[in-house]
Amino acid sequence: GHDEGIELFEYAEQLGLDSGWVRTRHMQHGLSSPAVFYGAVSQRTTRIGLGNAVIPVGFENPFRLAEDLATADVLSSGRLLPGLSVHGPAYDDELNDLVHDSGWREEDYGYGRIERLRTLLAGEAIREVPEYNGIGGDFDSDRVEPYSAGLSDRLWYGGGSLRSAEWAGSAGLNWLVSNISSYENGVEDFATGQRTQIDAFRAAHPAGDAARTSVARVFVPTDGATAAQREKYAAYVEARTPRTKQVHGGRTLIARDVSGSNDEIVDFIQNDIAFQAADDYLFELPFEFELADWKHILDQLAGEIGPRLGWRPSA
């Protein structure tokens, strides 16, 4: 799977796509260390942006994460687009003790972890370097190394609530939303809820309407697919559609997957008020599919859907 992931990034770059994004998965069959993965991808690509959607920072030591992200950014010549989120430990107490050590009960897992990470990535001094005494090499630094200029300005916050949107805006971050969102103020329409979050984010952001936002959704184009693929895609969407018809736990909404012709997908995007407010569109690739399916989706995105929406491939 990791090798296929690298191949997919190479393919996406050949198609001229602007960026590729991976999701961090802990205790699941997936990608648990995106910075390490991007260190490898950086050596097989030259241009494409390398995004995370998202890294749950609650699992991370901000200092060590800063070192890993900066290393990958240096190796990629400044192409990382780190997406971040914060959540408290969600396992049972015994596993939380193993994963987070026993101090997790007193640890703050709020937005402050993102602020600490950004400070470290920005290269701010965090200590005074003692005078060199001739022992060992004279190469101590007062900041996290390596330092990669501009990385701290490329941070995205992946959220799904008005509270997160307002915080990310006030913090001057970029805003990333996907196919899971919060049920707030009685609004069950998914696009309306996300558009409200985008508006709240920009209202709180120092850059105002120029603040950058991205909307991600699962799209499965059927044009150009084989008969077997179309059958698989239809079954996939049918199995996942019921979860989109209710509010989960009184607070969570899930967007429906969009499968159909390229015309139908373009029409959906052009009439979705959240997409119309966004700067960037992300196509989420179904985790259960195979490399041939993912390449098919990227082919349709780069060759047909994107150009109809005004996008042009990067050279």
Q: How many helices (H) and strands (E) does the chain have?
A: 12, 12
- The per-residue pLDDT for range 136-153, each reduced to its tens digit, is 778 999 999 999 999 999
Contact present, 257 and 297 (Cβ < 8 Å): no
**What's the pLDDT at 178?**
97
Kindly report the three-state secondary structure assignment for every residue of 265-287.
Answer: HHHHHHCCHHHHHCCEEEEECCC
Contact present, 182 and 163 (Cβ < 8 Å): no
**Assigned CATH class of 1-100+107-126+142-158:** alpha beta
Asked whether residue 282 carries a pLDDT value surpassing 80, the answer given is yes
Mean pLDDT calculated for residue range 74-87: 98
Residues in the chain, how many?
Answer: 315
Contact present, 49 and 20 (Cβ < 8 Å): yes
Mean pLDDT calculated for residue range 244-260: 96
**What's the pLDDT at 91?**
86
> What is this structure's pTM?
0.95
- The per-residue pLDDT for range 265-280, each reduced to its tens digit, is 999 999 999 999 999 9
- The per-residue pLDDT for range 27-70, each reduced to its tens digit, is 999 999 999 999 999 999 999 999 999 999 999 999 999 999 99
- The per-residue pLDDT for range 164-180, each reduced to its tens digit, is 999 999 999 999 999 99
Please state the domain extents for the chain: 1-100+107-126+142-158, 178-315
Q: Which residue is associated with the tokens 């609004």?
A: 187
- The per-residue pLDDT for range 178-209, each reduced to its tens digit, is 999 999 999 999 999 999 999 999 999 999 99
